[in-house]
Amino acid sequence: MGYSRRNLLIAGGLTVLGLPACAVGADGAADDGAGKVEVFSWWAAPGEKEGLEALVADFRQRNPGIEFDNAAVAGGAGTIAKTVLATRLENDDPPDSYQTHAGLELDSDIEAGYVEDVRYLYDQQRWRDRLPKGLVEALTFDGRIYSVPVNIHRANLLWFNPAVLKTHGLTPPASWSQFLTQAAALREKGVLPLSIGPAWTQKHLLECVLLGELGADGYTGLWDGATDWKGAPVQEALALFVKVLDQSDVATAAGDWQPALDKVVAGTAAYNVMGDWADAYLRTRKLVFQEGYSVVASPGSAKVYDFLSDSFTLPRGAPHRRAAEQWLIECGSVSGQDAFNPQKGSVPARLDADKSKYTGYLALAIAEWTDSSTRVVGSLTHGVVAGTKRSAAIDTALALFVQDRDTVKFADGVTR
């Protein structure tokens, strides 16, 4: 349990003294809640840190008395950060706030008692009326809400370099089988069809292949039990995923998502499947949308928004609780979201943000996100549709699947 014996003792001691328990940090130091806020995220590398910096700049302006302590740990999708964070939470050493995703990803932290219910902030800031209903649902566990969303990212995107496609006389594929046809032609010309990175990017690709092949309903059914992993459609989609992977550089995969995208920029690879944080990264490389890079929905998923939402928590025992509340208010504010998202390659979670701030790729993204005919599904890789345990089981099964290509065994591993 996150409510450690030590914290209980401290809280108990203070109750006896008649002081509010929240006036004590996890380290036992008295704290009036202001002064400093330690925020833990994985936004440390190009394409990630610019958004955080913009959010922090807005936060500083509105909270001049609070020092921002940036505890970011680099590594795409938080793979390294999540391990570091887990150790800190286990050791009763929480930051004042940490990055997570809307959706089931937070289930184990809630169960362990690591995070506080922040519905009082939702009431105070009237966030429920200012966020999409579906997002609020994804944030709600047994009627309680444990984090504050700062954005909406889209996962199902296929990035390319328009000049490279032009050279090869190609237009982006509308289905994964079309991609495979193009891949054969690209190979003959010495171009790698698809660049890929570490394990989480392979999971991200799997999610996009499943979505493209099964459609929004079939994909959603994978997570609510309506779609059979061992049925023919999923088995065929898994077999196709293996073929797609064979057209990538998985054997010599890039160390993270940015170098995988670099191959597309350089023209040594034709395509890369990645979320729209890629837009932020490509802009840091001084590329212009529709000139140096472009994007379409990943094959078979046009008009579907495979969404995820970065959100921040209030850990139990946060040493600077009042400053942490100010940070969460910042994350949920229009000014914070409109500072952050144009730099982050995401669209605002809030419905009342200033759309004029979103240009280039983001103008298209916001139009599609707010179009009532767009179908919304939740990301597997980025926390929406699978809890921690299930997601970890998929990671284990996928690491084997990439080696042995056994679709039935994979389905077994995933449903066990």
- Other Cβ atoms closer than 10 A to 87: 9
Nearest distance from C-beta of residue 100 to ligand GAL, angstroms: 9
The DSSP code for 76 is G
Q: Please, which residue, 212 or 345, has the CB nearer to ligand GAL? A: 345
Q: Return d(Cα 148, Cα 310) in angstroms, integer.
A: 8
Name which position in 154, 204, 263, 382 contacts ligand GAL (CB under 6 A). Answer: 382
DSSP string spanning 81-111?
HHHHHHHHHHTT---SEEEEESSGGGHHHHH
Interface segment toward ligand GAL; rule CB under 6 A; list 73-81, 233-241, 247-255, 296-304 = 73-81
Q: Does 153 bind ligand GAL (CB under 6 A)?
A: yes
Pick the closest to residue 289 from 300, 272, 276, 301 (CA basis).
276
Q: Return d(Cα 219, Cα 244) in angstroms, integer.
A: 18
Nearest distance from C-beta of residue 345 to ligand GAL, angstroms: 8
Residues 6 or more apart whose CB falls under 8 angstroms from that of 297 comprise 156, 157, 158, 303, 304
Nearest distance from C-beta of residue 101 to ligand GAL, angstroms: 6
Name which position in 68, 159, 241, 277 contacts ligand GAL (CB under 6 A). Answer: 277
Q: Please, which residue, 227 or 284, has the CB nearer to ligand GAL? A: 284
Interface segment toward ligand GAL; rule CB under 6 A; list 61-69, 75-83, 243-251, 362-370 = 75-83
Q: Please, which residue, 48 or 50, has the CB nearer to ligand GAL? A: 48
Nearest distance from C-beta of residue 195 to ligand GAL, angstroms: 15
Residue 28: C-alpha distances to residues 17, 96, 317, 331, 389 (Å):
15, 14, 10, 27, 32
Cross-strand bridge partners of residue 59: none
Helix 257-266 vs helix 277-284: angle between axes, to the nearest 10 degrees? 60
Residue 69: C-alpha distances to residues 72, 96, 217, 332 (Å):
9, 10, 43, 19
CB 267 within 8 A of CB 250: no
Q: Please, which residue, 313 or 407, has the CB nearer to ligand GAL? A: 313
Q: How many residues bind ligand GAL (CB under 6 A)?
A: 13
Q: Please, which residue, 204 or 316, has the CB nearer to ligand GAL? A: 204
Name which position in 10, 33, 38, 48 contacts ligand GAL (CB under 6 A). Answer: 48
Nearest distance from C-beta of residue 203 to ligand GAL, angstroms: 11
Interacting positions 77-106 with ligand GAL (CB under 6 A): 77-78, 101
Q: Does 310 bind ligand GAL (CB under 6 A)?
A: yes
DSSP string spanning 229-246?
TTSHHHHHHHHHHHHHHH
Nearest distance from C-beta of residue 281 to ligand GAL, angstroms: 9
Nearest distance from C-beta of residue 278 to ligand GAL, angstroms: 9
Interface segment toward ligand GAL; rule CB under 6 A; list 40-48, 117-125, 358-366, 388-396 = 40-48
Q: Return d(Cα 153, Cα 362) in angstroms, integer.
A: 10
Nearest distance from C-beta of residue 174 to ligand GAL, angstroms: 26
Binding site for ligand GAL (CB under 6 A): 42-43, 48, 76-78, 101, 153, 275, 277, 308, 310, 382
